[in-house]
Amino acid sequence: MSTLKKILVDKDKSCKSIWFMRQAGRYLPEFRKIRSQNQNFIKLCLDSNLSSEITLQPIKRYNLDSAIIFSDILLVPYALGQEVNFIKGQGPVLSNFELKKFLNNDKINFKKKLYPIYQAIKQTREKLDKEKSLISFVGAPWTLLIYMMGLKENKNKINLLKIKDKKSEVDIILNKLNEYLCAHIENQINAGADVVQIFDSWAGLLTDKNLKNFCYTPNLKIVEFCKSKKIPVICFPKGIKENYLEFNKIVKPDGLSLDYEIDPVWAKKNLTNVVLQGGMDPKRLLKSEEEIYKEAKKYLDIFIDVPYIFNLGHGLVPETDPDKLGKLVKFVREYKW
């Protein structure tokens, strides 16, 4: 059993594990070379050979404990019939959502469209050391809904009126999304993934009264599915602040990924019966080595006597110096935590 899986399953605090969100990607020169030759991001994600190669790049460079498959949460809306484009300086843009078209999907065609991802997982698992985990992932229904229905008005605001006006439609979409996400997870597990992470990147845009319906319940359904398949699952409800406490009590994931706004001392005290992961602000890696080590030490010292996975409070930023990241990995591995 891999170190990561042992921590998540056995809650073994003696095990040490380190990996990073977005470890395979844009900060690495070896990735940038591939990306420069493959302008269409969706096609790149669906190239099994290149996806596997990119997934393994940070493992080869840093010997991290886990690989996370190079893909994107928006491959699910793509497989369900929406056009997805990644525009430089603007981010992902999806074509207009059509409910009838969305409901007209079937699991066979869905699997066929995403088959290259499963092949990439299979190839990666064959090349990956057996002691290392291969992490698969999905976007949570709420986060996908925001992209699919174009609900974001700016970085910190969504169109809640649109949700209220189409409440019955939204409920149908969330439930149907849940079915396809569980199918996607199962296909990734069957291909060789042994841990799942659920990214609810826009959970922090919800008001407290809407968290239960749009965040807790959808995440709970996926977590229960993962548990039924005996696959450990990590949740990342980014931005919900101290509502992490209620999320943990209701959803009960194996692991809970902390964002950088969460006080680690508060997290240790209040988030119990769960493995904690991450928390460190990825922008700290743009600082001096001394500042990086100081911040890493803070998290390692706080979580020294509980099951903990060293990671960040969000994904690695493109400006990250690969050499500094390598030094951080060495610091964490050699630190007596």
The Cα–Cα gap between 199 and 140 comes to 6
Taking the alpha carbons at both ends of the chain, their separation in whole angstroms is 21
- Give the integer Cα–Cα distance in Å for 303 and 310: 10
Query: Which pLDDT band holds residue 172 (cuts at 50, 70, 90)?
Result: very high
Q: How large a percentage of the chain has pLDDT more than 70?
A: 100
Whether residue 133 is predicted with pLDDT greater than 90 in this model: the reply is: yes
Q: Is the pLDDT of residue 155 over 90?
A: no
Cα separation, 238 vs 5, whole angstroms: 22
Whole-model pTM above 0.85? Answer: yes
C-beta pairs of 44-47 under 8 Å, 24+ apart in sequence = 45/70, 45/71, 45/72, 45/75, 45/116, 45/117, 46/75, 46/114, 46/116, 46/117, 47/116
| Cα Dmax for the chain | 57
In terms of Cα–Cα distance, which of 144, 168, 163, 230 is closest to 193?
A: 230
Q: Is 60 exposed, middle or buried (0-12, 13-18, 19+ CB in 10 A)?
A: exposed
For the domain that residue 279 is a member of, what is the CATH number? 3.20.20.210
d(CA 88, CA 81): 22
Mean pLDDT comparison of 54-58, 87-91, 154-158, highest-scoring range = 54-58
Task: State the residue range of the domain holding 9.
Answer: 3-334
Which single residue is written with the structure tokens 């602040």?
A: 241
- Of the candidates 163, 274, 162, 253, the residue with the CA atom closest to the CA atom of residue 200: 253
Distance of CA 196 to the CA centre of its chain: 8
Tokens of 193: 């993934």
Q: Which two tokens stand for residue 287?
A: 């600082």
Write down the pLDDT at residue 100.
Answer: 94
Is 324 exposed, middle or buried, given 0-12, 13-18 or 19+ CB atoms closer than 10 A? middle
Percent of all residues in the chain with a pLDDT value above 90, rounded to a whole number: 89
Average pLDDT, the chain: 95
How many distinct structural domains can be found in the chain? Answer: 1
Q: Which residue in this structure is represented by tokens 């079915």? A: 179
Tell me: the pLDDT tens digits for 261-318? 999 999 999 999 999 999 999 999 999 999 999 999 999 999 999 999 999 999 999 9
How far out from the chain centre does Cα 88 lie?
A: 22
- Cα 74 to Cα 26: distance, rounded to the nearest angstrom: 17
pLDDT in tens, 236-277: 999 999 999 999 999 999 999 999 999 999 999 999 999 999
From 158, 247, 237, 246, select the one nearest 204 (Cα to Cα).
237
Nearest alpha-carbon partner for 24 in 58, 53, 49, 74: 58
Q: Is the CB of residue 222 less than 8 Å from the CB of residue 237?
A: no
